[in-house]
Structure 1
Amino acid sequence: MSLDLPSYIAGEAVHSSDKLDVFYPWNNTLTGTVSNITPEQLDQAIDAALRGQHTPLSRYERHTILRKAANLLAEHREELAQLICRETGLCIRESMYETGRSSEVLEFAAIEALKDDGEVFSCDISPQGKNRKIITFKQPLQLICAITPFNHPLNQVVHKVAPAIAAGAPMILKPSDKSPLTAIRFAELLYEAGLPGWMLSVVSGDIDTIVTPMITDDRVEMISFTGSVKVGKHIAKIAGYKKTCLELGGNSPLIILEDADIDLAVKLAAEGCFRNSGQRCTAVKRLLVQESILETFTSRFVEQAKEYIAGDPEHPETRVGTVIDEPAAIYLEQVLRRAETDGARVLLGGNRNGALMEPTVISHVPRDTPMVAEESFGPLAPIIAIIDLDDAIQYYNSGNFGLSSGIVTNNMTEALKAAKHLRTGTTNINEIPGFRIESSPFGGIKDSGLGIKEGVTEAVKFMQNTKTFSIPWE
């Protein structure tokens, strides 16, 4: 049975005859519908956040709401995991994992809500100084607009909404048209946890009548966007004079040097390439393997990759579900065939059935073939030979992306060299590029973003302004 969910304007459900349909990528059945809003209702959402008649939530109130939401999310974990699976095709074991991560975001945000990072500056420290104190405190932005992608339809949403609540900043959330259902159910849990309606609206609507007006509205002080490079750069052009936090694509390498622990390298490569059906901005998109161990690594990796069973996302043994829809899978198939034309060899997988793309291992991949020159968002594992670490660094840095990277080595000098010289937001040593905790800074440079960090701690800071005042201090 499919869901019929509303949009929410300041906590009030809005139903309409204008519906957005959401389909299950596995078999194209209807998962649910969402009511789209009108431009007038968007204005109502903005007005509700700004009208100035609200009593600001105390730090303790924000903390309490976030803790209650974490508990409610835990209680509804299986329901939300099933919903994630049914609207994205993500296998159930991965969607269960996502709900756990999202609970951690709420817990970390609850901790941040209690922190006061105000400072005091003495003013008598220079010849021209006075006997005064300058004191700083934080004030929340008046309104934030958040736009989230289809992958991680819960965790990406929580990573924007929870810091806003911790900061005390109202938000209008526009989830992806491909996976909005989970976001709306999560909003309902937040309202149940005590979040005042004016603090959060969750809306659905098309680009021209809802999304662009929301981005360009001068009353919105910040845009937080996670998604494609093309859309992110468009937002940067039209947003106007406001804060923007743009977390865009990635083309993350896992660099494997000749001294690496091969067992570890093979495990990390498989996890990095195939988990979440390869649909993570930090997923391993290129395996850069030193020539002296290339043959050994490749044969071991192919055997490991065979354990990643692709199929029915709801089956508990499935490790790789579908990608988001059939056109996405067709694109992956096309770049794979192009790589073969360019000289690459498929060692495992390579087949597509609807939106299901098999975990695929590819060797002899040219560095300039589109599959690796740009981001391929799926369970593809291209292997590229490198001469040494310098070769890997030069190759990666010559590209357009700069989000995350990983290196597998037992040589600390080489590890630190990679950390210093790879032009990315993150370099993980003996770990996948995507490793982090939900409170640590996260973000990229170049086409991966503007260098502004997400992660709960940094996001809260970016959603506030620092105010100073001074007082006599005799």
Structure 2
Amino acid sequence: MSAPTAATVSLTVRNPYDGGVVGEVALADRTAIRAALGQGAEWAARPLPSRHQRATWLNAIADAVEAERESLARGITAESGLALKDTRVEAARTVAVFRFAAIEALADRGESFSGDITADGRDRRAHTLQLPAGLVAAMTPFNLPLNQVAHKLAPAIAAAAPIVCKPSERAPLSGLRLGAIVAAAGVPAGAVTVLAAEPEAFLDEVLAEDRVAVVAFTGSVAVGKMIAGRLGYRRAMLELGGNDPLIVLADADLDEAAALAVTGAFRSGGQRCTAVKRILAAEPIADALVERMVARTRTLVVGDPADERTDVGTLISADAAASVEQRVATALEAGARLLLGGTRDGALMQPTVLDHVPRDADLVASETFGPVAPVIRVADLDDAIAVANATPYALSSGVCTRDLQSAMRCVRELRAGTVNVRELPGYRSEVTPFGGVGDSGLGVKEGVREAIRAMSFTKLYTLPWT
């Protein structure tokens, strides 16, 4: 759905690969943003739609996305530069998000308690209800521009919490199109609004509106911390990125580990918070692992993201690619060894494999959002865990080992919201909890079920037993 008030400024969206115009987007001004928030707040005061009605809406949205999957995937590719292979997966995941939300909308997860469990207890029963927390304001980033919006809208609809969502101004078209699909499915005006706006204007109006109960933000650490500092006595859902390690121990299946490292580092051009950002390779097998990684990377097709053969498309912009290129150059100056890639053409960054990357190089000390596979050599599991935890981020991780004790040590000791054994850090189901701590967020989890909880509050009521 669009903002209730017409905007007066437009934004031209261009294809990062060839610079062609993909679309024009009207930007909501501050008056329109305030109107959208006000409409959402008014909707929050209405009687709740039934669980059946919420599930019906969500399934209708899933049906519509399913019917338009190919068109949606091509739209994502055009505005973001992500390879069509990846955007087709994203469109399919979006269908799953709404399907899971429809199931959860039907689930009444209230609890019951007895009042006579203490010596001086009373003969009463206590029950809980999950009710919408109130108006939700959401902001999503340019990567996964359809599914990121779906992960905000679907749980809000399931929880009956009105939501105003602003997709990234760098890739807004897919989110706006999803908003139109939501409206066509019959979700009432005010319950869901998707609008394009300048981020500063949107945030200012959101933070000034006392009726906003929850702010859901996926994006940079700097903006997330600013939101947390200004939000006051309101709930925050902050997913702020990651610096995710893939630990490869001496007993690992090296073909499997190399496949995970290459897929995790280069899928979606490395522009994922759960991309493999650091490969921590045990010294005894590091040479063999790197050899396999280089061989696999050479097979990747790099280029036009709309070509079905392409594995790695562009970054979101030439500036973003230039930033990654500079980070690689700085790591090389610090002693890293370039094995493959390292160059760019406009927004197209070649998949890059580096070995012997210094542990304190900025490339691996902070999040690098691009197709880079930096290998850090470690002595053993103790060393790997120490290096993995030596970052302010704590989102996700993967570990390649055939030893259960080593795997469980990683589960216990890695500072991360997720530990995946013999799998990518980015592996998840749309329904499972997802999120991190530290600079990766506040520990409030995303994923359909967890987000519904975050957008709800628990009401207790008691009744006499007899």
Q: Do they superpose with TM above 0.5? A: yes
What is the CA–CA distance in structure 2 between the aligned matches of 1:385 and 1:176, rounded to whole Å? 37
* 1:448 aligned residue: 440
Give the drift of 1:179.
0.8
Deviations 1:69-102 (A, max 9, x none): 1110011111111110011000111111100011
Give the drift of 1:337.
0.6
* 2:39 aligned residue: 48
State the AA in 2 paired with 1:120. S
What is the CA–CA distance in structure 2 between the aligned matches of 1:424 and 1:122, rounded to whole Å? 37
Q: Secondary structure at the match of 2:28?
A: coil
Q: Secondary structure at the match of 1:404?
A: coil
* 1:468 aligned residue: 460
Q: Secondary structure at the match of 2:419?
A: strand
* 2:85 aligned residue: 93
Give the drift of 1:201.
1.1
What is the CA–CA distance in structure 2 between the aligned matches of 1:175 and 1:207, rounded to whole Å? 9
Written as runs of structure 1 = structure 2, the 5 A alignment for 1:63-462 is: 63-462=55-454
Give the drift of 1:115.
0.3
Q: Is residue 2:42 matched to residue 1:28?
A: no
What is the CA–CA distance in structure 2 between the aligned matches of 1:222 and 1:248, rounded to whole Å? 16
Maintained 8 Å contact 2:7/2:29: no
What is the CA–CA distance in structure 2 between the aligned matches of 1:49 and 1:332, rounded to whole Å? 40
Q: Secondary structure at the match of 1:299?
A: helix
What is the CA–CA distance in structure 2 between the aligned matches of 1:428 and 1:209, rounded to whole Å? 39
Q: Secondary structure at the match of 2:233?
A: coil
Give the drift of 1:395.
1.1
What is the CA–CA distance in structure 2 between the aligned matches of 1:99 and 1:116, rounded to whole Å? 29
Provide TM-score, normalisation by structure 1.
0.96
Deviations 1:227-254 (A, max 9, x none): 0111111111112210001001100010
Deviations 1:331-379 (A, max 9, x none): 0010111111111111111110000001010111111111111110010
Q: Secondary structure at the match of 2:127?
A: strand
Gaps of 5+ in 2: none
State the AA in 2 paired with 1:216. A
Maintained 8 Å contact 1:216/1:239: no
What is the CA–CA distance in structure 1 between the aligned matches of 2:231 and 2:421, rounded to whole Å? 37
What is the CA–CA distance in structure 2 between the aligned matches of 1:207 and 1:454, rounded to whole Å? 22
Q: Secondary structure at the match of 1:198?
A: coil
Give the drift of 1:15.
4.2
Give the drift of 1:218.
1.1
Deviations 1:400-423 (A, max 9, x none): 110000000000000000110000
Maintained 8 Å contact 2:134/2:455: no
What is the CA–CA distance in structure 1 between the aligned matches of 2:32 and 2:278, rounded to whole Å? 45
Give the drift of 1:202.
1.3
Q: Kindly tell me: are residues 207 and 437 of structure 1, through their superposed partners in 2, closer, same or farther at Cα, counting changes over 3 Å?
A: closer
Q: Secondary structure at the match of 1:135?
A: strand
State the AA in 2 paired with 1:197. A
Aligned residues: 465
% identical aligned pairs: 44
Gaps of 5+ in 1: 1-6
Please provide the CA RMSD for this pair.
1.2
Maintained 8 Å contact 2:280/2:375: yes
State the AA in 2 paired with 1:102. T
